[in-house]
Structure 1
Amino acid sequence: MAPSLSLSDSSKVQVEELIKESVNSKRTPPFFFTAVSANGPLVSFNFGKDQNGNQISCDTVIRIHSMTKMVTSIAALQLVDRGLITLDTDVGEHLPGLAHPKVLQGFTEAGEPILVEAKNKVTLTLLLNHSSGLASEGDFPDLARYRKLKGLNHETEDDPKLYFDQPLVFEPGTRYTYSPSTDFVGKLIETLTGLSLEEYFQANIFKPLGMDSTSFLLTPNLASRLTLPIAWRDLSTSNIQPDIPSDAAFYTRYGAVPPASPPIQRGGGGLLSTTYDYTLLLTHLLRLSPNSPVPLPQGEKRLVSEDSWKKMFEGSFTDERAIEDLSIHKPGVHGPRSGDQQWSVGGLCLNLMDWEGRRKAGSGYWAGLSNILFFIDPVTGVAAMGGSQMFPVDDEIIEDVWAQAQKIVYAGLVENASN
């Protein structure tokens, strides 16, 4: 059993000073940071003013974008635990768009797409670890050309018939590319349960954990706290500006105020949440660790089985090419060196080796498009969520502040004597 943890008072002060400096110097927009152990919060400091001139807090509603993926993956693992599906199930049995998947292999001289039936089936595992063959058009010019030919763009991709009927760009299970495949997992959950993704998440994840401010739906309550517009960093000057440029079509779509009820509840992104809510989920996952120093509170039931929890922190790639593809993620930001990653079925990219002064091997992490990030380190017994609301993605200054905050936390951990 791991020891119970707390954070030294001096480390809490250092976290606060770091974040205040980054915001006051205008190096970053308003900044969120909360670190937790299985016992609860270690430190929570959120600094900066929203559009109304009020200080942000752990209850400020933010867009978490791809941090939605872990929630969707947990929901899928729940269905595995309940015997509704297996990780090896051919999802084409439930999703018509993947019943007979085809791989896009270019175009004829006449401009017609060359589509070849895939040899392998698309399984739930392959959707969860982004090796299904589904892809984003920005990484594959032929896919961009295909989508344009079929009239699928940022304005029309809210049409489920178009969105959930796309070709693959490689044979399932042979490569990795970060993709919209978790959106297909969300559709699968809806198909298997007969519930919308919102209904399923609320009943099986959010309400059991008391996550009252997390939803796909922009309710009046959430709208009243969605008061921090997504800022923009001009990469030519490094200055932060309040508005996203009109010619940044991809970002203007995701930076707009979300509709009250989106046409597609995307398993890969789209949730609204707060740092308070999301760290409730991180805390719960730490408590599910076999090494947790504390049991689940009375009345709190585990979200996933022991086996599914273990799978969340185990690599799921079996093809070396997929592991090689994953090494593109930035060393020094996501891990100590290139190649130090695997992907699990839990919506987590995994670190395979210890990171000095930071998280241990077997930790999982990911982030959202607007530079909001999280990690879970079940070995040490620590998790955190931090960052801001700003485009473009992968902001180096936000990542630097996030890294420094993590180092402060790890350096200041105090092991408490067991009762």
Structure 2
Amino acid sequence: MKNFEQSVEKAMADGVILGAVVCAKGKVNYSKAFGNRILTLKAEPMEQDTVFVLASMTKLMTGIAALQLVERGLVKLDDDVASLLPVLAKQPILTGFEEDGTPITKQRTGPITLRHLLTHSLGGSYDFASGDILRWRKIQNTLGKPGVTIEEAFGHPLLYEPGESWCYGTASDWAGKVVEALSGLSLEDYMKQHIWSPLGVKDITFWPAARPEMANRMCSMSIRDTRSGKAVQSRKPIAMTPGAKEAFGGQGAYASMGDYTEILNSLLVDDERLLKKETTAVMFQPQLSGGSRLALNEAMSNPQWAVGYYPQGAYNWGLGGLLVEGKTESSWRKAGTMLWGGAINSAWFIDRATGVCGVFGCNLLPSADPQIEVLMKGFEEEIYKKSAEEERPNSRL
């Protein structure tokens, strides 16, 4: 991993990044902490147990939780779960605006299924991903007013009939509400009992403030200074879900990268501590077709909005993240590789065909920083290179 480590060291010297923690498992077992997690008052080095904002990397855990409920027979992927989500169920479909700005809507006619929620084919978009939702929120005077519950934050119209298209958005947060409704547990308690504890991990939570031993290891937020272009520590705390009163299954968790990697590795090696082998196989199968698949690939044809390295190629969506469906310009990734990122410039991947998984942890804004994308790509390339070396006969002689 010499080339990657040198590139990170240079990036820190150049002010591109203040620090990072990276982990990989499978055919390659590697972990390393770089730089500092905090600079103000007294510099504190980045450690293996430093806690990061997961942001949208939370979505993978919510997908696992939902699939566990499918395994237990509490719900099927194509069951209509609208009755469990009354605020979402009453939302119309936004079709446009009158000349005077009045929204034009129509009533939803189809079901809302768990599959729609796990594949972002629901129609519920984040405002940053949709000009129409942004405009609607301005009209409603809710823009810039983050809700403290999922209903408050995301109780806005859909953009299309569920299943007919694709847009990145609020679906995983609603999936978390389904998990709570069917399990009778808060999302935090459910994941603790059925995801984190079975893996023996303790450094994941939606509520770090209630866990002083974790809060004291939090990575500070850094930002890209607009004048110098260098990474600097933010003078103010930046929260993904400020004032949240419930767990947001699409963006609200915090974790050390080592503990998060244990989740990736369980899916990689099929140890059945989280999901049965047959369920994991379905999780890694393409779920989108027709208009929804076309819409996803159109969005990924210009992926500057997405955190991670996404070269041109064929993509689909599984039940836990983006899937590489065919050849891409990153020739090392095999078809079926699942991957995604979080808004604070962290990203993960699982390649079951090659036998490797990994995560790049960083706390920096703005999202989808192109300079950090270069480091993410370098990390992945080195992991695959090392994996290939491990497969060569007598490679250790």
> Residue 215 of structure 2 aligns with which residue?
223
Does 2:17 correspond to 1:18? Answer: no
Aligned with 1:36 (options 25, 39, 51)? 25
CA distance in 2, matches of 1:137, 1:344: 23
**Which one-letter code corresponds to 1:196 in the other structure?**
S
1:3-402 correspondence to structure 2 within 5 Å:
12-37=1-26, 42-51=29-38, 52-108=42-98, 111-163=101-153, 165-218=155-208, 219-226=211-218, 228-234=219-225, 237-243=228-234, 252-254=238-240, 262-288=244-270, 296=271, 301-329=272-300, 330=302, 334-338=309-313, 340-346=314-320, 348-354=321-327, 356=330, 358-402=332-376
**Which one-letter code corresponds to 2:385 in the other structure?**
A
**Which one-letter code corresponds to 1:407 in the other structure?**
E
RMSD: 2.5
**Which one-letter code corresponds to 2:261 in the other structure?**
T
CA distance in 2, matches of 1:395, 1:128: 26
**Which one-letter code corresponds to 1:190 in the other structure?**
E
CA distance in 2, matches of 1:324, 1:164: 21
Alpha-carbon deviation of 1:233? 1.1
Q: Report the secondary structure of 1:352's partner residue.
A: strand
Alpha-carbon deviation of 1:166? 2.0
**CA separation of 1:139 and 1:78: change in aligned 2, threshold 3 A:** same
Q: Report the secondary structure of 1:168's partner residue.
A: coil
Alpha-carbon deviation of 1:82? 0.7
Alpha-carbon deviation of 1:232? 1.0
Alpha-carbon deviation of 1:133? 1.0
CA distance in 2, matches of 1:412, 1:322: 33
> Residue 9 of structure 1 aligns with which residue?
none
**Per-residue displacement from partner, 1:358-380 (whole Å, max 9, x unpaired)?**
22111000001110111000000
- 170-179 vs 193-202, which moves further: 170-179
Greater RCO structure (CA 8 Å; 6+ sep): 1
Percent of pairs with identical residues: 30
Alpha-carbon deviation of 1:163? 3.2
Q: Report the secondary structure of 2:214's partner residue.
A: helix
Q: Report the secondary structure of 1:386's partner residue.
A: strand
Residue ranges of structure 2 left out of the alignment (5+ in a row): none
CA distance in 2, matches of 1:312, 1:235: 41
CA distance in 2, matches of 1:331, 1:106: 25
> Residue 7 of structure 1 aligns with which residue?
none
Q: Report the secondary structure of 2:44's partner residue.
A: coil
Moved beyond 6 Å, runs of 4+: none
**Per-residue displacement from partner, 1:297-354 (whole Å, max 9, x unpaired)?**
xxxx52112232012211111223543343322569644424x2101122x1011124
CA distance in 2, matches of 1:193, 1:358: 40
CA distance in 2, matches of 1:209, 1:375: 19
Q: How many aligned residue pairs are there?
A: 382
CA distance in 2, matches of 1:242, 1:54: 12
Q: Report the secondary structure of 1:48's partner residue.
A: strand
CA distance in 2, matches of 1:349, 1:253: 25
Q: Report the secondary structure of 1:45's partner residue.
A: strand
CA distance in 1, matches of 2:14, 2:68: 45
**CA separation of 1:149 and 1:95: change in aligned 2, threshold 3 A:** same
CA distance in 2, matches of 1:415, 1:95: 49
Alpha-carbon deviation of 1:124? 1.0
**CA separation of 1:142 and 1:27: change in aligned 2, threshold 3 A:** closer
Are the aligned partners of 1:34 and 1:386 in contact in 2 as well (CA < 8 Å)? yes
Are the aligned partners of 1:158 and 1:264 in contact in 2 as well (CA < 8 Å)? yes
Are the aligned partners of 1:91 and 1:98 in contact in 2 as well (CA < 8 Å)? no
Alpha-carbon deviation of 1:47? 0.6
CA distance in 2, matches of 1:13, 1:138: 38
Are the aligned partners of 1:183 and 1:266 in contact in 2 as well (CA < 8 Å)? yes
CA distance in 2, matches of 1:27, 1:127: 36
Alpha-carbon deviation of 1:17? 2.4
Are the aligned partners of 2:346 and 2:361 in contact in 1 as well (CA < 8 Å)? yes
Are the aligned partners of 2:296 and 2:316 in contact in 1 as well (CA < 8 Å)? no
> Residue 291 of structure 1 aligns with which residue?
none
> Residue 405 of structure 1 aligns with which residue?
379
Are the aligned partners of 2:296 and 2:315 in contact in 1 as well (CA < 8 Å)? no
Alpha-carbon deviation of 1:221? 1.0
- 14-23 vs 378-387, which moves further: 14-23
